[in-house]
Structure 1
Amino acid sequence: MMISDSQKKGLRELLLNDKNLTVLLQLAKGATKNMCKTEDPEEALRLITTHIPDIYVLLSKRAIKKELLFTYLSNRRADAATDFSKADLIAKVIQYWKQEHKSSIELSGDQTSSSLHIQSEEDYPIHTIARKFGEWFFERFNADALSLVDLWADAALHLTIIASDGINEWECTTAAEVLSALTSAKQQFDFYFNPNLTHAGIQGRMDSYGHFLVICCGTLHSRDSCVGIFECAFGLFRDPLADNNWKPKKVKCFLKSEAQPPELHYLCSSETLQTALELSVPSDDLN
């Protein structure tokens, strides 16, 4: 997601102050790979927004701690409950900026009192449905509550697991086999799937046949440790016998163990979803 003018204004509030100046300069140094070592706060802000043009990626940098984001929200009396992750705080900060820094729209020609609503891409129906599906699916999956009725009877799965001992792949062609393979992999490795439910981690697409595709990624956890990343693509179809709800018919899932996994995983850095990212993104309602 590109950094908007309102988000640049928010970054100025967040980082251009005596308390967080060190963080700002550290971010600028990292963004330019130590090529630019400016001490000018304005120049540092320009550098990071130029070289890190994704607001989610920027706020997820290790230099920006959870405490910094929490303090920022608390000082502005914004919602910052103590039951949170860094991803939650990032989402809250971005939402706060969206509400507080709405850009004024000037109408050329005759000025009227009517207001214009500019819809950001992350609010497109296809992305909104994708986020709702991702939240629903992984909540049920982590709780071992996913059932056969949640899948189409002829659901298909391509599952790839890359671990230190090699690569394993499975292909399934029925709902029962899909559910069994996913559940077995989760239980065998004691995985907890932590999806990145921001726009940078889950989005919707339309394939060349007009089918709805949800692409998402996140981190894999075992007990209290982050042990890897995952990337998934779900082909969804409406089920007229289930209140016309979207259900997965095709699933591709890629799991990879890593010695030093990222704090957050993003679609822009995914290994398996780059082709899907190039598919069309309709801005209107899905029929």
Structure 2
Amino acid sequence: MTGLTGKERTECAKILTKMSKVDLLSLCDTVTNKMIVVESDKEAMDTILSFSMSAEELLKRRKVYRDQIFKYLAEEGIAMPPTSEKHILIKRTLELWSSKQEPKGQPGNYRAGPHSRTVSTDVKTDPGFDPLILGREFCQWFFGLLNSQNPTLGQESQDWGPQHFWPDAKLRLLARVCGEQLEEFAGAEVVSRRLLALTREERLLLNPNLEAHGLRALSSPHGLVMVAVAGTIHRDTSCLGIFEKIFGLIKSPLDNNWKIKLINLKIRGQDAISDKDVSAPALTYNSSDLQLLCN
């Protein structure tokens, strides 16, 4: 028996933790041919890792689902197209584990464009500060920056990356397209790569509605500014649906620039919306919702 390397055991364990106890016990029976009886999740995981001939063999098991591998890669900073088949995800995972260096830039490699800029900090958080002005300015900057990563536009990509996020930034992505799917990510690197995948890999364009019914913003006494915006999502000439996005922004005392603390992104596909929603997407979040998030 060849078995798993120490690194493979550690990384495979991360994927196994995403499995239900029922599936873990079933997988344990399969790997050991029902020769070992276990009672707990930990016993099942240890046994599976000990009796697996190779990492590839383990990942190919029927009980190790495609979505679990996809989510693992995302958490490791590797953004893959959501439509990737399981064998493609396995191949990328094994490449990641065999690499001696951190997987920078696959596929989220980004390069600075000549026109990149930071969000203007001319607006100060003083009694005259208007969070809506900041919100509109921020959205113009953010969506221009993110959309520039889409290769179908033929533009030079601007300076996208984790430097625009706080180290403990969080992303919550809820998609209602042929069902409902929730993804959650934490950490500047992982969050920036997942958002990058929307435009670079999935080739989406996010068009914000910066009119009054599509944009809201408010600030807390502690310096957190919440910005909510609605808009449409496109691929090439097709409108795929609408989105609502909430940003939590905090100004950095080091460089006086606003950085992203949190993002809640809600996507609805064409089958869940009306023509009126697409022509003028409006926010369903109100000021009370944003106030709750501020607190």
Q: If the length of structure 1 is used for normalisation, what is the TM-score? A: 0.48
